[in-house]
Structure 1
Amino acid sequence: MAAPVELAPDYYLRNFQALVDFVVNRYEPLLSAPEREFYRTFKGLEINSQRLYVRLLSRKGVPTSAGALFRQSKLAYAEIDDLAGAAERLVEAGLLWRNPPLPPADLLPLFSKAELLAISPTPLPRGLKRQALEERLLEQGVEQSQLLAGPAEQESLLAVQGAEHFRTFKLCFFGNLRQDLTDYVLRDLGLYRFEAYPLDQECLPFQSRAQIEQHLRYYECLDELESALNDGEEAILALAQQLPPGIDGDATLHRRLDRLRLTLARQLERLEALQAADRLYRQCHRPPARERRARIAVQRGDIESGLALCREIIASPHNEAEQVFAESFGYRTAKRAKRLRDWQAPERYQAPTETVALPPAPERVELMAAAFLQAAGSEAEGGSSSGPELHQCFYVENTLFKGVLGLFVWDILFAPVPGAFFNPFQAAPSDFRTPDFYPLRRAAFERRLSELKSETLAQRVWLHYREKWGLANPLVAWEALSEPLLELALARIPPDHWRQLFRRLLNDIEHHRNGLPDLILFPAAGSYELVEVKGPGDRLQQNQQRWLAFFARHQIPHRVLHVEWEQP
């Protein structure tokens, strides 16, 4: 990991310029005329005006119909010379609006309580709460001119312009509107280092202006989501009607639209608008849409439709969690309806289990269990307190198998798949935790898995371990992958076990990345064993149970270790 560095006072300007330059260099034909003019206007400013504009654009301000609003007298930035002059040049360029005509209610949040009391034409009690004070001032008919003349002589208000154009630049750069320039800051501080994957023009996520417009429309709808959820059925259905239709080949947009429809439909369920919820779920192509439809059908008394949906899921599940639901819910529903002829109770796997009593201690129970297993195994083998004949036990939880997979398929993970990378600062492809991740790379992954042998696995893992150390990878937690652990794992775990583990992870990273056992034990005699540790009162979670059942199907050694506290 690179050593942290001290940032320049105007680091934010350099990062902003890099962002907008990147977008123009790659997407200029897709930008609107006002967006291109926004870029040219900004680039034509002198440096202090650029600094002030980016500072204000990055701050929250008071939101108004005229743009985010600031008081000029409250602005102070050490790196900006002649702030007043910089502001005036921004006003002349149209990137700031000075003293926009706004209702007084929009301006009051800019002023402190003491300032508002001083503005009041008639004395008001100092003990008034903020909201009550603002209401009294509005009742008194306070005007904008009074607010601007009150606390400071000729106070000036500045409203940021062009933010709607920068939204497009952010979308094209980050692929979303959640991220901001903080990602650059983390890079500059040396907290993150990124793989140098190619960003070829034909692989860029946005290929048309219509695509950009639909993504922007999605985020406009997302901004209205909370209000619609609170306002009831009609507002929810109205928002659903406003969603963009989607673009063929844009899996990212379709995922986002599905997620928003699922949220809207789930709220309709809570409001008992079941028919409307079902219609909305039918427009979704990803889990848990079919699950919710099955539940709605049964709730409405349509048992056969609910069971038919469960059969459909079992025949073609999107993921393992969906299949487990269909088997369990279908069986329970059929049993209640006395239609068990075609349904069997889901099998529940019971993993080998051992219970041990340990003295209470402040450290993590997993670490206590690891020390116990290591000591107990070494004593059984007649080992001494040190030496190569000892059992070795490591706390790995969800890091070992994911980490080795990340090292083994590093080049495939960062391959230039169309739509996967928006900018040079991604720790993962944009579709990494989605159902589209594996299918889009299926051929490359399957070739790599077919070549998996002990020597090829070790060769690739160690190559990337040495060459890529410290680079961001969504599968690799560097601090958890010590060389002694990797050496033992690569030597002891059979290639077929690695292959089966990797395939399960790749098929559904979102659901399978968690739930792996806490410990890996390497007995002195050879081989290995995975151990899930459960402390007093702790129980296996569903994803852990599914992993244990998977181990059993593929003869991967495992057990559950229950820890109880020794009684004094």
Structure 2
Amino acid sequence: MADPIELTPDYYLSNFHALVDFVMARYANLLSDAERFFYDQFRGLTPDSQRLYVRLLSRKGVPSSRGALFRQHKLRYSEIADLTAAVDELIAIELLQRNPSLPLAEILPLFTKSELFASSPEPLPKSLKRPDLEHALLELDCAQIRRTLIREEPCLAVQAAEHFETFKLLFFGNLNQDLTDYVLRDLGLFRYEQYPLEQAQLPFQSRAQIEQHLCYYDCLREAECALTAGVDEITTLAARLPAGIEGDSTLHRRLDRLRLTLARQLERLDALGDADHLYRQCSHPPARERRARIAVATGDTTTALALCADILAAPHHEAERAFAESFGYRTAKKTGCTDGWMAPRRHRAPAETVALPQTPERVETIAANHLVHQAPGNQCFYVENSLFNGVLGLFIWDILFAPVPGAFFNPFQMAPSDFRTPDFYPQRRAAFEQRLAALDRDELNEYVWRHYREKWGIANPLVHWEALPESLLSLALERISTEHWRALFRRLLSDIAHHRSGLPDLILFPAAGGFELVEVKGPGDRLQQNQQRWLTYFAQHQIPHRVLHVEWQP
């Protein structure tokens, strides 16, 4: 991890420059005339004006129809020498607007309750709560109240923020991140892998693609209101969603996620036909599951069973397959004909129950100490999800950060953008298959130890550095066979979003050799479904495992 450094007072301006310059250098041909003009205007400002504009862009402000609102007299920034001059320069080129013409309702939130009471042309009860106070003022002489509020207190509206939204989208790939990412880098909290960002690999390749992403985020902002409004508002919003761009799997996933949310609310509102219509437009889980449930709810068991059969023929992940097996069998059983449907079988993992004295330590630590003391020379580590994910991350480090088209938006990603998606493995299938096919102990050791020493401290979504001491890594690489590593890697890679969790708590290295994975369950604790699926997989591949149930001694 990099050594922390002291940030300059206007560190945010350097970060802003880096962001907009990055976008201009790579996407200038995809920007609109207004967006390029915005960039040129900003770059031509004096440093103080640039600092003030970035400060205001980064703050929330009071939302209004003319941009985020701020009270000029409330602005205090030690690094801005002449704030008044900065405001005037920004107003002159229309990046700020002073006292914009706005309905009084949009101005009132800028002021305190005491200021609002003072602005009233007639006395109002001091017991009024803020919503009631604002309502009372709106029923009085709005023009007089407005003049009173802004007479000595000019308000400023930030302009052209929508252009910066486009820059943010192109840099981060979304509108959820902000310049904080830079701060974490500058403070030394994160170090990032270096990967190429050439034009051919960039995620955005057309203006139409940008417009569709921006349209998606507009719809996402409106979704909360639509979800609480009713069926008509939800279906209207769904109809406004963009169609998607061929080859843009990121946009496709986001649209699916929003459609699934809208459809699920339609289900709750008993608009099952509208919900089913939306689910049909989704290609990601749980769309087929929800359609099967809707079909049963409407008495159409034939469609429900057909959907379950479709899932079993091509499941997206194990959880979806488990649903189809269980729901399909239950549905077929209700029809009185279970031909072709079998009751799901659950693997019963080897289990042991021990009574141990309760101490302030966590139950996994108590269990690990118990296993260590069972025989001289035993070693036991609390690893949960860190060991196998970490070794995989070290083994495939170069593939993970390979320049796959659309995987990296900017230099500050700890993972490719498709890492937690169904596209992650297929996009790199050839490289993964070649690596796994050639896997032997020497190669595994070579990749893991080289990356462990060369990449220490660099952010990797699979590697938790502090949880991988050399002693643990050495034992794991020595004791676990390449066949078992290959089986573990294959399951992790097949659905990394779901399979990277649910792994056993402990790994035991008996003095006599070998290893064993131990899932610890304290009093009242039960196996979760993802844990059960891992235990079933261990049984299929002869990976030593058991469940250790801990009870407290009286």
**In which range does the TM-score fall when normalised by the shorter chain?**
over 0.9
Indicate which of 528, 535, 546 corresponds to 1:541.
Answer: 528
2:27 is aligned with 1:27:
yes
3-state DSSP of counterpart to 2:520: strand
Q: Which residue of 2 aligns with 1:422?
A: 409
Matches within 5 A, 1:131-280: 131-143=131-143, 146-147=145-146, 149-150=148-149, 154-280=152-278
Q: Which residue of 2 aligns with 1:466?
A: 453
Q: Quick check: 1:352–1:558 contact (8 Å CA) kept in 2? A: yes
Cα distance in structure 2, aligned partners of 1:552 and 1:295: 31
3-state DSSP of counterpart to 1:547: helix
Matches within 5 A, 1:376-395: 376-378=374-376, 390-395=377-382
1:431-455 per-residue CA deviation (whole Å, 9 max, x = no partner) reads 0000000000000001011111111
Q: Quick check: 1:23–1:173 contact (8 Å CA) kept in 2? A: yes
3-state DSSP of counterpart to 1:433: coil
TM-score normalised by L of structure 2? 0.99
Cα distance in structure 2, aligned partners of 1:148 and 1:196: 56
Q: Tell me the CA shift for residue 126 of structure 1.
A: 2.4
Specify whether residues 148 and 452 from structure 1 end up closer, same or farther in structure 2 by C-alpha distance, changes over 3 A only: farther
1:74-128 per-residue CA deviation (whole Å, 9 max, x = no partner) reads 0000000110110000000110011100011111111111111111112223232
2:81 is aligned with 1:94:
no
Q: Which residue of 1 aligns with 2:482?
A: 495
Name the amino acid aligned to 2:333: K
Q: Which residue of 1 aligns with 2:14?
A: 14
Q: Which residue of 2 aligns with 1:382?
A: none
Name the amino acid aligned to 2:451: H
Q: Quick check: 2:48–2:83 contact (8 Å CA) kept in 1? A: yes
Q: Quick check: 1:148–1:154 contact (8 Å CA) kept in 2? A: no
3-state DSSP of counterpart to 2:472: helix
3-state DSSP of counterpart to 1:343: coil
3-state DSSP of counterpart to 1:532: strand
Cα distance in structure 2, aligned partners of 1:158 and 1:522: 66
Cα distance in structure 2, aligned partners of 1:248 and 1:127: 59
1:483-509 per-residue CA deviation (whole Å, 9 max, x = no partner) reads 000000000000010001001001101
3-state DSSP of counterpart to 1:491: helix
Matches within 5 A, 1:506-517: 506-517=493-504
Q: Quick check: 1:148–1:155 contact (8 Å CA) kept in 2? A: no
Q: Tell me the CA shift for residue 301 of structure 1.
A: 0.7
Q: Which residue of 1 aligns with 2:321?
A: 323
Q: Tell me the CA shift for residue 154 of structure 1.
A: 2.6
Cα distance in structure 2, aligned partners of 1:563 and 1:518: 13
Matches within 5 A, 1:302-313: 302-313=300-311
Q: Quick check: 1:352–1:559 contact (8 Å CA) kept in 2? A: yes
Q: Tell me the CA shift for residue 471 of structure 1.
A: 0.4
Q: Tell me the CA shift for residue 146 of structure 1.
A: 4.0
Indicate which of 389, 408, 411 corresponds to 1:402.
Answer: 389
1:288-332 per-residue CA deviation (whole Å, 9 max, x = no partner) reads 111111111111111111111111111111111111110010011
3-state DSSP of counterpart to 1:342: coil
Q: Quick check: 1:356–1:562 contact (8 Å CA) kept in 2? A: yes
1:364-384 per-residue CA deviation (whole Å, 9 max, x = no partner) reads 100110011011132xxxxxx
Cα distance in structure 2, aligned partners of 1:148 and 1:156: 10
Cα distance in structure 1, aligned partners of 2:373 and 2:117: 72
Q: Which residue of 1 aligns with 2:430?
A: 443
Cα distance in structure 2, aligned partners of 1:312 and 1:185: 48
Indicate which of 349, 366, 369 corresponds to 2:367.
Answer: 369
Q: Quick check: 2:263–2:276 contact (8 Å CA) kept in 1? A: yes
Specify whether residues 541 and 265 from structure 1 end up closer, same or farther in structure 2 by C-alpha distance, changes over 3 A only: same
Q: Tell me the CA shift for residue 522 of structure 1.
A: 0.3
Q: Which residue of 2 aligns with 1:286?
A: 284
1:2-37 per-residue CA deviation (whole Å, 9 max, x = no partner) reads 222211100111101100000000000000000000
Q: Quick check: 2:372–2:378 contact (8 Å CA) kept in 1? A: yes
3-state DSSP of counterpart to 1:296: helix
Indicate which of 355, 358, 372 corresponds to 1:357.
Answer: 355
Stretches of structure 1 lacking an aligned partner (at least 5 in a row)? 379-389
3-state DSSP of counterpart to 2:471: helix
Q: Quick check: 2:425–2:494 contact (8 Å CA) kept in 1? A: yes
Indicate which of 336, 342, 345 corresponds to 1:344.
Answer: 342
3-state DSSP of counterpart to 1:224: helix
Cα distance in structure 1, aligned partners of 2:138 and 2:330: 61
Q: Which residue of 2 aligns with 1:520?
A: 507
Cα distance in structure 2, aligned partners of 1:132 and 1:315: 60
Matches within 5 A, 1:87-126: 87-126=87-126
Cα distance in structure 2, aligned partners of 1:258 and 1:512: 21
Name the amino acid aligned to 1:5: I
Cα distance in structure 2, aligned partners of 1:161 and 1:7: 28
3-state DSSP of counterpart to 2:205: coil
Cα distance in structure 1, aligned partners of 2:121 and 2:271: 52
Cα distance in structure 2, aligned partners of 1:391 and 1:415: 40
Cα distance in structure 2, aligned partners of 1:496 and 1:200: 38
Name the amino acid aligned to 1:94: E
Name the amino acid aligned to 1:33: D
Cα distance in structure 1, aligned partners of 2:336 and 2:241: 42
Q: Which residue of 2 aligns with 1:83?
A: 83
Name the amino acid aligned to 1:224: E
Q: Quick check: 1:148–1:156 contact (8 Å CA) kept in 2? A: no
- RMSD value, Cα: 1.0
Q: Which residue of 1 aligns with 2:69?
A: 69
2:481 is aligned with 1:484:
no
Cα distance in structure 1, aligned partners of 2:266 and 2:440: 52
Cα distance in structure 2, aligned partners of 1:448 and 1:300: 49
Q: Quick check: 1:258–1:284 contact (8 Å CA) kept in 2? A: yes
Cα distance in structure 2, aligned partners of 1:305 and 1:134: 55
3-state DSSP of counterpart to 2:36: helix
Larger CA deviation: 302-311 vs 479-488: 302-311
Name the amino acid aligned to 2:117: L
TM-score normalised by L of structure 1? 0.96
Cα distance in structure 2, aligned partners of 1:74 and 1:339: 74
Q: Tell me the CA shift for residue 340 of structure 1.
A: 1.1
1:171-208 per-residue CA deviation (whole Å, 9 max, x = no partner) reads 00000000000100100010010000110110000000
Cα distance in structure 2, aligned partners of 1:469 and 1:443: 27
Cα distance in structure 2, aligned partners of 1:183 and 1:288: 32
1:493-537 per-residue CA deviation (whole Å, 9 max, x = no partner) reads 000100010010011011101100000000011100000000000
Q: Tell me the CA shift for residue 147 of structure 1.
A: 4.0
Number of residue pairs matched?
554
Cα distance in structure 1, aligned partners of 2:434 and 2:49: 54
Q: Quick check: 2:30–2:207 contact (8 Å CA) kept in 1? A: yes
Q: Which residue of 2 aligns with 1:386?
A: none
Q: Tell me the CA shift for residue 153 of structure 1.
A: 5.6
Name the amino acid aligned to 2:288: R
Name the amino acid aligned to 1:287: P
